[in-house]
Structure 1
């Protein structure tokens, strides 16, 4: 019997350093795919010497897959005049890449897939209402400028999906209420953390690694590190983060920013304006394992987002034993316990600074064991394994039903 085929659609190259939780989700689904499945990924290419529009074998997270890039894009961490999602959708038009299972992480590409056969799943990674209706028009994505158009397109496309899975409970409720005819297809799915990559050190190892990093950076031995990781885009509001560090006003604290994006220049301007050049380091984009090393040794991980689903980096920090400070958005406040982090009720520099101060000055109240415990239910191996198990069961049941129908037709029963 042939293997069931899962084709994943998203606008990135898994071999490059592409920033974002969606990319991490996809790599996790590849890594923990059972051998019973054949995995294909339709993405983009950042190496101009590689062929476009044809399948080739590649390896992702130790797993052999088939990969087809649709077009070349040098750096997908920055917004383009023509959104990458639009270019990706256009490149799919006229093709038929039907397979047994298809996973989509953006809505737009499914304009090309309406007539494709197979089970289609749409993953929702944000609180979609807050995302589309965000008031920040200056740095807005395309749909934030035209929210009515987004919901019209969504209404046109939504019925083709067998499943709509969201890591955000508000989004689950939104889709179930907005589309009651398909409400049973909408459900909550946990985002995940790969415990083979994200794990804690002992307290002694953590302290030794912190001192070593401070020494490498030419900082005082008692320096404590705050970590941010993500795209430097309006959604993550890194400008608020810089202003919060200024409000914190603690010379023994150093902020590490792992990421890249459109707000990099503005961020540098804010750092200079507040005189924080000696207290903030922009690291650029990091590979997941490099980021995990920092997550294990920093005193606190911080998120200043305007809207979220459930950020993978939050789970990764907790699994590494590091407490969180987060704005009150997305699913993160629902998983945090009193001893694993602090939720800021206001999105202001003073509120974020107060929360950071609380964790930094009371580290014993946020033990690594509590952080690890908060992330435990989100283990990738378990969560992704269960999803694949359900997929395989449906596929085998479908093949059995087809065989029975064919048998009856052949025998005349």
Structure 2
């Protein structure tokens, strides 16, 4: 029997990846794909990786053999360009037919090229789209914020082609069900995922030992505690609020690690200098998943100061590594945190974030490793992704069986 084929559409290169939780989700769908499936990825190329554009290549991602097609080369997608990468990617799909049994889209715009493709299509929604479009929450984060009516008109045109619409944010899922009642039964909440083979905790002794070693390597005192942020340096994440929160915390033994890159890099550096925090903040640049996990295992707290979110994968990764969370009240994170795995800021101000950080830093025993790991357990990639693949396989087998019955009936009629 032929294998069912899943084709994943997203503008990234697995070997020269930009920052983002979507990339991690896709990697998990590749890594935990069962042997019954063939997996294809339509992404982007890189000038350091000379692959023929618009052609299929045999490749390996996360230890799995896949077929990979780069549509165009892009050097650095962490910085916004005049023409958004999503639009360029969608344009590159036109005129092609890359249909397969299953197709996963992680942005809406590229699916315009797939309107006539046959196969089961799924749209993944990674943010709270309502807040993302609002003038209060957007903060110049996406160009569509200036043309919300146009975006929703395009969305209404495209939404009916999807057999499934998955959102990692319950409020966003409800928003789609109410806005598009004709497809409400296709919209559902889906958990984002964490790879427990990469993100796992240390014992308290190991954790403290590695924290001290890092402090000494950085020329800091042994009792230095690390606050960690990881993500795109982008208005959505509001990293300026993060830096100002450290200033409000006003504790020389607390050091902020910023892992990421993006449009606000220079502005953040300026703010760090302006507030006199150069010896209390280290900008690490972009890190790969394994490097980031090493920091997540030894940080005292992971902090998120976003204006809007879906469910950040980095939050799940930090929890799985045993690290408590401090977050603004946005996205799905406040709903999954327990009182002993994190603190939610009721106000999006430096003082409120500093107060929340202080609660965790002064009483680490109130936020044990075990409680953090427990909060992340339902989001295990092997379980969540495995269940989705099982449902896909069941539907594929049912369609195949029905197709055979139909062919048999037609053969009987013709005789």
Structure 1's 47 and 361: CA in aligned 2 closer, same or farther, altered over 3 A? same
**Cα distance in structure 2, aligned partners of 1:409 and 1:96:** 29
**Cα distance in structure 2, aligned partners of 1:252 and 1:59:** 43
**Cα distance in structure 2, aligned partners of 1:57 and 1:42:** 12
**Which structure 1 segments of 5+ residues have no match?**
none
- For the pair 1:8 / 2:8, whether they are aligned, the reply is yes
**Cα distance in structure 2, aligned partners of 1:278 and 1:27:** 36
Residues 10-409 of structure 1 aligned to structure 2 (within 5 Å): 10-47=10-47, 49-135=50-136, 139-409=140-410
- 1:294-329 deviation line (CA, Å, top 9, x unaligned): 000000000000000000000000010000000000
How far is the alpha carbon of 1:138 from its aligned partner? 6.2
Give the SS at the match of 2:28.
helix
TM-score (norm 2): 0.98
How far is the alpha carbon of 1:189 from its aligned partner? 0.3
Give the SS at the match of 1:76.
coil
Structure 1 runs, 4 residues or longer, greater than 4 Å off? none
In 1, are the aligned partners of 2:141 and 2:234 still within 8 Å (CA)?
Answer: no
**Cα distance in structure 2, aligned partners of 1:7 and 1:137:** 31
Structure 1's 185 and 138: CA in aligned 2 closer, same or farther, altered over 3 A? closer
Give the SS at the match of 1:235.
helix
Give the SS at the match of 1:135.
helix
Q: How many residues align?
A: 413
**Cα distance in structure 2, aligned partners of 1:129 and 1:121:** 20
**Cα distance in structure 2, aligned partners of 1:17 and 1:112:** 24
Give the SS at the match of 2:327.
strand
**Cα distance in structure 1, aligned partners of 2:139 and 2:168:** 27
Give the SS at the match of 2:92.
helix
TM-score (norm 1): 0.99
In 1, are the aligned partners of 2:122 and 2:162 still within 8 Å (CA)?
Answer: yes
How far is the alpha carbon of 1:76 from its aligned partner? 0.8
